[in-house]
Amino acid sequence: MTTKPTAAPTRFLTGITTTGTPHLGNYVGSIRPSVAASTGVGAESFYFLADYHALIKCDEPARIQRSTLEIAASWLAAGLDPDRVTFYRQSDVPEIPELTWLLTCVTAKGVLNRAHAYKASVDKNTAAGSDPDADVSAGLFMYPVLMGADILMFKAHQVPVGRDQIQHIEMARDMAQRFNHLYGEHFVLPQALIEESVALLPGTDGRKMSKSYDNTIPLFSPRDQLKKLINGIVTDSRAPGESKEAEGSALFQIYQAFASEDETAALRRAYVDGIAWGEAKQLLFERIDREVAPMRERYQSLISNPAKIEAILQTGAEKARQLATPFMRELRHAVGLRGLGVTAATSIGKAAKVALPSFKQYREADGKFHFKLVDVQGRMLLQSRGFDSPKDAAQAIALLQTQGAAALPSVEAKLATLEDVGSEEIHTALQALVASRA
Ligand code: TRP
């Protein structure tokens, strides 16, 4: 196998906390746009069930398990293709809590004091005259660090989240920067991706659809229940025949999130013409059901086969760990959690703290000159074919050292890689070498 240097695709990663049952708001705001994005070319998507995060909010084991099943089934029913993306459960990747500890040690406690979720609890307690930390678990306090590990582990570039999560992504960037400064360039700095066009869906009472307001419509309610819930959406008291306002109408906003522009325009006219609320609700019901019905069928068949979902998640975890395991090995080494037989870099000064991959030249029995690239643990990443002279080999090395992965195409024919080494690791190693010379 030879290396195929290609531009690194943009990596998207997002997590879904496993505490509830997916509702229409989750579908419109997260599931539908994510599934659509995951089918784009040049993207590499990671979706995971954040069940460690769920433990922070929920101490009911059966609910965590049920929610994990329902959320996984919902994403798959909505068209997420586990062969195209990496779809896994957070707790199946033990490297994530391991990384959490390394990040904990580079995160200032004062920064966590300012995290919105923690601060909100403290403010509430203070206002009530209680101890500021009453009922605050250390898990809630550490929430942003676990989330940082989720993101940094997979070198995500873009993290699609709601506005309330922006601060967490900024914290993850800070952790990455601090770690990179101390131990060398290991982490990619992530960015929050906020979908401006995605509407916040109102719930049945007109406030934002949210489990905490108890105003949700479950995505896969059976038809008759869906109908009942839609009939419960609040409206004003205008009678049939009376003109109605589309602005501020929860019913209208929900319709808009599912309908085409033409359909939306038609309903807007019907409002003006005095459509009866009962009739408008019937339209909304039919429109949602049209989109949801085929998914509902897939959902039912998935949910009645948990073993199949489990198998999909296990495959996803394996895929995720193919990245996480070697990366964690690299990070452990970087911070000094090393086998005692491994020699540390010997020179003095800041740069010496960063162990680097290296090139080794040698001559084979056939008289040809070879070189290999070995990582800090001495593992071979790349091996050259034979060169006729040591000078030719040295030239190829110099190119790789100065241009990094960009030089791979010009020396490609001279290289062989080892089967179990990913091209990403090779790119990372070369990048570290180039950076060290800059
Ligand atoms: N905190 C996110 C939420 O409540 C869920 C989450 C956990 C997450 N880890 C993540 C989102 C990593 C994006 C990336 O919505």
pLDDT in tens, 10-33: 899 999 999 999 999 999 989 998
Q: In 3-state terms, what secondary structure has residue 364?
A: coil
The total of structural domains in the chain comes to: 3
Task: Identify the domain containing residue 36 by its residue range.
Answer: 10-201+305-334
Q: Quick check: CB of 425 below 6 Å from ligand 1?
A: no
Tokens of 250: 């929860």
Is 46 part of any domain?
Answer: yes
**Where residue 109 falls among pLDDT bands split at 50, 70, 90?**
very high
Is 43 part of any domain?
Answer: yes
> Is the domain of 259 the same as that of 123?
no
Q: Residue 432's domain is classified under what CATH number?
A: 3.30.160.160
Which pLDDT does position 199 carry in this prediction? 67
| Measured distance CA(96)–CA(141) in Å, rounded | 17
The Cβ of residue 132 has, within 10 Å, a number of other Cβ atoms equal to 11
Is 388 part of any domain?
Answer: yes
Contact (CB, 8 A) for 254 and 233: yes
| Measured distance CA(151)–CA(187) in Å, rounded | 10
> Is the domain of 281 the same as that of 326?
no
What lies within 8 Å, CB to CB, of 375 at 6+ separation is 330, 357, 381, 425, 429
282-314 in b/e form (b: 16+ CB < 10 A) is ebbbebbbeebeebbebbeebbeeeeebeebbe
Q: Whose CA is nearest to atom 10 of ligand 1?
A: 15
Contact (CB, 8 A) for 48 and 90: yes
> Is the domain of 241 the same as that of 183?
no
Q: Residue 141's domain is classified under what CATH number?
A: 3.40.50.620
Mean pLDDT of the chain: 91
Is 208 part of any domain?
Answer: no
Dump pLDDT digits (tens) for 50-84: 999 999 999 999 999 999 999 999 999 999 999 99
Is 52 part of any domain?
Answer: yes
Q: Quick check: CB of 100 below 6 Å from ligand 1?
A: no
pLDDT at 258 over 50: yes
Confidence (pTM)? 0.77
> Is the domain of 175 the same as that of 51?
yes
> Is the domain of 113 the same as that of 73?
yes
> Is the domain of 251 the same as that of 156?
no
> Is the domain of 245 the same as that of 267?
yes
Q: Whose CA is nearest to atom 8 of ligand 1?
A: 15
Q: Quick check: CB of 172 below 6 Å from ligand 1?
A: no
Is 132 part of any domain?
Answer: yes
Q: Whose CA is nearest to atom 7 of ligand 1?
A: 15
Specify the ligand 1 atom closest to the Cα of 146: 9
| Measured distance CA(331)–CA(153) in Å, rounded | 10
> Is the domain of 322 the same as that of 381?
no
> Is the domain of 177 the same as that of 232?
no
C-alpha closest to that of 17 among 303, 296, 212: 212
Q: Quick check: CB of 161 below 6 Å from ligand 1?
A: yes
C-alpha closest to that of 200 among 225, 163, 156, 152: 163
> Is the domain of 282 the same as that of 316?
no
Q: Quick check: CB of 14 below 6 Å from ligand 1?
A: yes
Rounded to the nearest whole angstrom, what is the distance from the C-alpha of residue 20 to the centroid of ligand 1?
Answer: 14
Tokens of 263: 């359909």
Specify the ligand 1 atom closest to the Cα of 16: 5
What is the pLDDT averaged over residues 109-131? 96
Is 351 part of any domain?
Answer: no
> Is the domain of 235 the same as that of 109?
no
C-alpha closest to that of 77 among 347, 292, 372, 338: 292
Rounded to the nearest whole angstrom, what is the distance from the C-alpha of residue 16 to the centroid of ligand 1?
Answer: 6
> Is the domain of 392 the same as that of 375?
yes
Is 3 part of any domain?
Answer: no
Beta strands in 299-429 (DSSP E): 358-363, 369-374, 380-384, 415-417
